[in-house]
Amino acid sequence: MTKRITLEVSMRLVSDAVFGSGYSDAGGADIVVCKDVQGWPYLRGSAWKGLLRESMENLLVWSARANEDTLAALMGEAGRNCAEDARRVTLTELRLRERPSAPEDCYQTRTFTSLDPMAGTVAAGSLRSAECVCRGLTFVGELECAAKDKDFVTQALRGIRWAGTMRSRGFGEVDFTVRERYPDSERSKTALSSGHCIRYRLKLESAALITDLSRSLDNQYETRGYIPGSAVRGLALGTLAAERPDWFAAHRKEALSDAVRFLDALPVHGEQAPIPSFRGFYENKAKTEFVFKLTENAEEISKGGLKPAKIGQFCAVVSDNAGGYVLRYWKARTSGATRISQERNASDSGADKDGMFQTQFLLPGQEFEGYILLDDPNLAETVGGAIPQTAHIGADRFAGFGKCTRTLLEVTDTPRWAEAYGYRDGDTPGETLYMLALSPFAIRDGNGRIHGFDRNAENGSPLAQLAEKLGVESLTVEACDTSLAEYGGYNRIWGCHLPAVRMYERGSVFKLRCGGVPSLEALRKLQAEGIGIRREDGFGQVLFLRETYFDKKTGVRASLPDEAGEREETAAAAIRRVKYGWVMRNAPRVMQSAMSPSQIGTLQSLCEEAARRGGDTQKIDEWFGLNESKNVRHSVRFPEIRKLTETALETPLPETLNLSPPLESACMDSKEERLKLLCMLFNYSRREKEEANAGREIGKEGGAIC
């Protein structure tokens, strides 16, 4: 195998830089810097990759070594399916080495205008603002490459002199430094015993793109809230094929069959065993009623005005103080970004001409727990050990996405959810079973066609096959709450899509009536083996829930969000949200005043200048005084806005924003901070008033607007 090394890369900002995010702030800057959920700036891996590719191209040309094959081997090429190879460069995002005391200390706002080429003056409505990352900050990240390419990659990195947008105006000058990192060991060795179940956890070190094609559009890509078993399967078996080719050749048929089943890895919070939130729960608007549809009269639920309960994407069933159960729910934390693709063909119908598209991704810092189930326990050590200590998963993994670390790897008797929510030793199943789809599943009938459950079992039907596996004479679906979706896939070896199959979605729940009492061993065997097709990719996993959860008196009686699963919000982020609310409440006062957009823009510029000068508001006072000293028709425009400005400058910021005590202590208060708040207000009001005036002009030219 080709030896690979890791380089630690530092990028110091020699000048202010604009790492554009593609968005603008309501009441803030027209161009906003790319930030994480806590408000800290960072440079995306895809942006860094583009800079590195450009530097490599220049280096190859200048050194008379122009070679398209070299560039394609290191950075990929248009239309490539992103298959792994030994020379392909992988990198992470560039994040702050040392953080200031607050995210706000990383930024300052600059304003710009355009000139009217005919008049030689400022063009009307051209005033705009951009958020900049302050010079002097240092960002760090990692890059992995083949050892033989180290010198070339290092030279290319040091050749990057500019980053971000607005470079022609002097923004984005950077200085790169590189050094090799020497890890203690390339892989953490974990000794595994033989067993039928392997439990593992993956922690995201960077954002991950697990694209959900069923919910994505041409220029908008949604992410799954979990790591599919097929992704982990490709990672593990791909590692075995590359590092242990003799073993893989000998066990290829078994390893690629449903004798080795890779289950989806779900987001975890604490030590609660995660399962998909199951359907069937309904609640009223006031959330005073919470009932399970499969044990209630459907007509009564309809008459009572109940609606499907809010239960998130994943959940845990926990005991409450009254002897019943509560459904604790959560979902994976996600965010999004606007990006530009150089590979999109503008001539394609429906494609964006500028190549812009939006992506949703899983945020870093989250842990996902999954399982590998094996028929042959002797494969546990080899298959489990094939999950690397550090790896990349998902899409765009060569552009800074999908880096993860294996935090847990062990052999267990059964998955945790089987013991936590299923039948335990000593339990006796009854004739009524509640079957939960842990993953999508579909079953072929006797003729080989995909077929759903009929109400009663017939020869060769999926329900009859299920009855046979349970060892009962008959099986009936008394009630269910389900949904359907199509699931496909992509074979990178053959370069083609897998046929899409309609399946019951995860979370679907069935109330089954058995013609006889199934044994506990039959239930456990079915849970371990799964049902239906594509079980090797994690499909077909089911769980038989304990009946006590659905007892009318002591069953699940409420659903609550898991506090550990709620989106973490720092005090700084909460304060920013309150500031935006203050801007939106006060913007109508500014917009409805008689001040023109240019006058509001002038006041905004004066506030920005005062903030840069340490809070000196003398020029603001002089500007108001000058305008109020003119004729009555002109002077009446300003007193109300002057009062608003002076009140905001004289009142402590926590009092202006009406912050709660926890946020009040975290709020930075100074003349500069109050001026920044006014800048947000005037910037938003000016733009909204300009758009309103433009709409009125269009109405005058084209007649009444309907």
Q: List the CATH number of the domain containing 169.
A: 3.30.70
Among candidate residues 476, 510, 545, the one where a domain is terminated: 545
Asked if the structure places residue 456 within a domain, the reply is yes
Q: Is it the case that residue 566 has pLDDT exceeding 60? A: no
Q: How confident is the model at residue 704 (pLDDT cuts 50, 70, 90)?
A: very low
Q: Is it the case that residue 74 has pLDDT exceeding 80? A: yes
Asked if the structure places residue 534 within a domain, the reply is yes
Whether residue 638 sits in one domain with residue 541 = no
* Poorest-pLDDT segment among 10-24, 582-596, 612-626, 634-648: 10-24
Q: Is it the case that residue 65 has pLDDT exceeding 70? A: no
Q: How confident is the model at residue 705 (pLDDT cuts 50, 70, 90)?
A: very low
Question: pLDDT of 645-689, one tens digit each?
Answer: 999 999 999 999 988 877 887 788 888 889 989 988 998 888 888
Whether residue 603 sits in one domain with residue 506 = no
Asked if the structure places residue 637 within a domain, the reply is yes
How large is the average pLDDT for residues 239-246? Answer: 88
* Poorest-pLDDT segment among 108-112, 160-164, 197-201, 528-532: 108-112
CA angle 114, 116, 119 (to 5 degrees): 145
Question: pLDDT of 165-216, one tens digit each?
Answer: 888 888 889 999 999 876 544 445 667 888 999 999 999 998 898 888 777 7
Q: Is it the case that residue 624 has pLDDT exceeding 70? A: yes
Q: Which residue has the higher pLDDT, 70 or 380?
A: 380
Per-residue confidence (pLDDT) for residue 569, from 0 to 100: 47
Question: pLDDT of 399-433, one tens digit each?
Answer: 888 889 999 999 999 999 999 999 999 888 999 99
- Are 431 and 508 in contact by the 8 Å Cβ rule? The answer is no
Whether residue 593 sits in one domain with residue 461 = no
pTM of the model: 0.73
Whether residue 119 sits in one domain with residue 8 = yes
Domains identified in the chain, total number: 3
Whether residue 502 sits in one domain with residue 624 = no
Q: Which residue has the higher pLDDT, 376 or 613?
A: 376
Instruction: Map residue 104 onto helix, strand or coil.
Output: helix
DSSP letters, 109-136, are EEEE--B-TTT-SBPTT--EEEEEEPTT
Among candidate residues 181, 202, 217, the one where a domain is terminated: 181
Whether residue 163 sits in one domain with residue 86 = yes
Whether residue 57 sits in one domain with residue 101 = yes
Burial category of 512 from C-beta neighbours within 10 Å (exposed 0-12, middle 13-18, buried 19 and up): buried
* Poorest-pLDDT segment among 383-387, 573-577, 581-585: 573-577
Whether residue 148 sits in one domain with residue 12 = yes
Whether residue 636 sits in one domain with residue 531 = no
Q: Distance between CA 13 and CA 176 in Å, rounded?
A: 9
Task: Name the percent of the chain in helix, strand, coil, to the closest 5.
Answer: 35, 25, 40
Asked if the structure places residue 560 within a domain, the reply is no
For the chain, the first-to-last Cα distance in angstroms comes to 69
* Poorest-pLDDT segment among 328-342, 452-466, 500-514: 328-342
Token pair for 315: 């959940």
- Tell me how crowded residue 656 is: count the other CB atoms within 10 A of its CB: 20
- Are 473 and 412 in contact by the 8 Å Cβ rule? The answer is no
CATH number at residue 461: 2.60.40.4350
Asked if the structure places residue 664 within a domain, the reply is yes
Domain extent at residue 482: 425-545
Q: How confident is the model at residue 559 (pLDDT cuts 50, 70, 90)?
A: confident
Whether residue 530 sits in one domain with residue 656 = no
Q: What are phi and psi of 645, to 5 degrees?
A: -65, -50
Asked if the structure places residue 485 within a domain, the reply is yes
Asked if the structure places residue 295 within a domain, the reply is no
Q: Which DSSP state fits 283? A: E
Among candidate residues 181, 213, 237, the one where a domain is terminated: 181
Asked if the structure places residue 197 within a domain, the reply is no
Per-residue confidence (pLDDT) for residue 492, from 0 to 100: 66
Q: What are phi and psi of 635, to 5 degrees?
A: -70, -25
How large is the average pLDDT for residues 247-268? Answer: 92
Q: Distance between CA 216 and CA 225 in Å, rounded?
A: 14
Question: Over the chain, what is the mean pLDDT?
Answer: 84
The H or E element that residue 107 is part of is: strand 107-112
Token pair for 160: 């990057």
Whether residue 614 sits in one domain with residue 496 = no
Nearest to 268 by CA among 331, 350, 327: 331
Whether residue 171 sits in one domain with residue 43 = yes
Q: How confident is the model at residue 345 (pLDDT cuts 50, 70, 90)?
A: very low
